[in-house]
Structure 1
């Protein structure tokens, strides 16, 4: 049995799957979702972007919620997605799209923006001057992808299909959970998840910041340290396997 006892903070469905995976590997955990997914209306500009998918050199889907909602919106509008030209930041997101019969490229090492930007297939796709790239995401996030691709000459647009919000919890919920479950580590899957963790902690943040914090990328690790987190572990990916590997190579604090 692992000495780690982790707090999982992903959206409900993802928390449940991750909790089961970690428990099967002997890692105790508790769930407190910090990201609620709210679909946004499919207005005229979004419909237009859907209708022109085939004109894109690359369609980058950044998360599982984005992938699920995109497939739903395509079914609703009757738009047939192109079979190729699809990219994702991680394997789990790719799996959602692959289940719908789409050919998806994703990084073999690391599941973050930096790893995808280094992917040779994506580099080739955007090598054409003015290559059109569509990033499918929630409202805000993954600006690095657009910045770097723009620097390479690509024309980048966003299709934003959902918002993330912090679910409503009574004051003190986070510390009560940490103490009741005797947790010694926290897991966040994005920069916004980190910000929601800080919001929920409130006046308890200095104490919470002393716990080991597992994050998915160097960018989020930098944000966490800047916010005062004192023990940050970069998992170099948001997948369950990346988290487990980071947990297994990290020494748990003495109880």
Structure 2
């Protein structure tokens, strides 16, 4: 695997943690964060959703930023956490919730919406009259999760806790970084991360589209292929473990 030289695009702190894991496996990486997390100011609607938390049969937290911000809100309005079922898309998000003594379930294999939807405990949680599910997330994303839950008879509401902005870079920052560091693979962790990659690439996108692109889910893979990416690898999750597994499979690094 040491032939890989990867561009990481997650928020700075997450890219740093992923870079450490990759380095232990002998994989070079370079970080150019393409997502900047901005908490959304607390509104009356957000307060209502948090205060009515015990009306839900399940709360799903889809990302680490959602977990961190959600836990802070929970502390403000619930001195003692309500007794309900918590779910997360992946183990890293679950760990943040567990650190605050919440009982969280998540898929053992695959940290994406599809894997979560197959989780027996989630299926059991919504088998009741008029099931209500709350999804904690950033603005936009994870629509598949709500669609499938509604198909199963659940009423779904969103608690949107943050926005994902694109940090400011010079126009050629992305292709210049790839050329200067001889990078041969690109990693994105979300649909919006890919959209920012595509946007920042600008006129250089046709060249960058030839590089292997590692994505976290079928939805993001479809988005990337529609934009012209030639070699898209679905890691079936955004975790370091999922990426390392995908790196052990073809394609070979572009040298």
TM-score range, shorter chain: over 0.9
Q: Secondary structure at 1:54's aligned position in 2?
A: helix
Cross-structure match for 1:92: 92
Deviation at 1:83, TM superposition (A): 4.8
Deviation at 1:250, TM superposition (A): 2.7
CA contact (8 A) 1:84 1:104 kept: no
Deviation at 1:128, TM superposition (A): 1.3
Spell out the pairing of 1:1-255 with structure 2 (5 A cutoff).
2-255=2-255
User: Quick one: structure 1 residues 254 and 158, their matched pair in 2 at CA, closer, same or farther if it must change by over 3 Å?
Assistant: closer
Distance in 1 (CA, whole Å) between partners of 2:190 and 2:178 is 20
Gaps of 5+ in 2: none
Give the alignment's Cα RMSD to 1 decimal: 1.2
Distance in 2 (CA, whole Å) between partners of 1:35 and 1:202 is 17
Distance in 2 (CA, whole Å) between partners of 1:80 and 1:190 is 33
Deviation at 1:9, TM superposition (A): 0.4
Distance in 2 (CA, whole Å) between partners of 1:53 and 1:230 is 44
Deviation at 1:79, TM superposition (A): 4.8
CA contact (8 A) 1:6 1:29 kept: yes
User: Quick one: structure 1 residues 92 and 83, their matched pair in 2 at CA, closer, same or farther if it must change by over 3 Å?
Assistant: farther
Distance in 2 (CA, whole Å) between partners of 1:40 and 1:63 is 15
Distance in 1 (CA, whole Å) between partners of 2:140 and 2:30 is 28
TM-score, length of structure 1 as denominator length: 0.97
Residues 197-206 or 78-87, more deviating: 78-87
Q: Secondary structure at 2:238's aligned position in 1?
A: coil
